[in-house]
Chains A and B, each alone.
Chain A
Amino acid sequence: ILNVEQSPQSLHVQEGDSTNFTCSFPSSNFYALHWYRWETAKSPEALFVMTLNGDEKKKGRISATLNTKEGYSYLYIKGSQPEDSATYLCAFIGGNEKLTFGTGTRLTIIP
């Protein structure tokens, strides 16, 4: 069983503040790391797919970094807005090409 962990489990951030959270995954047999954003009552939506050590991806105010050697990825949100409230999931793909999801970080932005 692959261990994909996300921390913290939940987070409350004041509107306008920046925040970040972590996904840790096995450092061996790495293929890819996905980040998804999951709003309540909707379905997960892909944010980033990262494959190379040192990758940095950016989409608007959201960015992510990847360290495959030590097995972690950070997701950053700059200048949080209420619409950023969601659960952020990471998913690890190893040699078997299956996604193993973490349990998510539930982010709430306080207006």
Chain B
Amino acid sequence: DAGVIQSPRHEVTEMGQEVTLRCKLISGHNSLFWYRQTMMRGLELLIYFNNNVPIDDSGMPEDRFSAKMPNASFSTLKIQPSEPRDSAVYFCASSLRASGGNQPQHFGDGTRLSIL
């Protein structure tokens, strides 16, 4: 079974450039989560979707960050313009939607982003 697929695995770009991270959910999953991992703050939830609808984006750091689900199996996280402090590992995870959070999340391998 294919797991959650993220691309690219690594991204190095200059400050000010637009960055787009991609995520393909596990087939049949209908919840999608974007996380950011940093040394200082650990694993933080940025935004999550249920059935393609953004439910909570309170973790999105600022307006430079945006996330979309153009269809049920795919999501993008965009940073425009990027800044050095955005350097981190970005994970997406998917799960079956269930009330009460009783379904485990399945994580992709992450995108290591470096903004110079």
Q: CB within 8 Å of B: which residues of A?
A: 31-32, 34, 42-46, 49, 51, 89, 93, 96-104
Q: How far is the CB of B90 from chain A (nearest CB, A)?
A: 11
CB interface residues, B 73-116, toward A, < 8 Å:
91, 93, 99-110
Q: How far is the CA of A104 from the CA of B42 in the complex (A)?
A: 9
Count, A-B residue pairs, CB within 8 A: 53
CB interface residues, B 33-80, toward A, < 8 Å:
33, 42-45, 48, 55-56
**Known A32-B101, A98-B56; 14 more pairs at CB < 8 Å:** A31-B101, A34-B101, A42-B109, A43-B110, A44-B43, A44-B105, A45-B107, A46-B106, A49-B101, A93-B100, A98-B48, A99-B45, A99-B101, A99-B105
Please indicate the chain A residues that have their CB under 8 angstroms from the CB of B42 in the complex. 101-104
In the assembled complex, 16 residue pairs joining A and B whose CB atoms fall closer than 8 Å, in A order, are A34-B104, A43-B91, A44-B91, A44-B105, A45-B107, A46-B104, A49-B103, A51-B100, A89-B43, A93-B100, A97-B55, A97-B99, A99-B45, A99-B101, A101-B45, A103-B42
Q: CB within 8 Å of A: which residues of B?
A: 33, 42-45, 48, 55-56, 91, 93, 99-110
Point out the residue from B43, B99, B102, B110 that lies within 8 Å of A49, measured CB to CB: B102
Q: How far is the CB of B21 from chain A (nearest CB, A)?
A: 14
Q: How far is the CA of A62 from the CA of B33 in the complex (A)?
A: 27
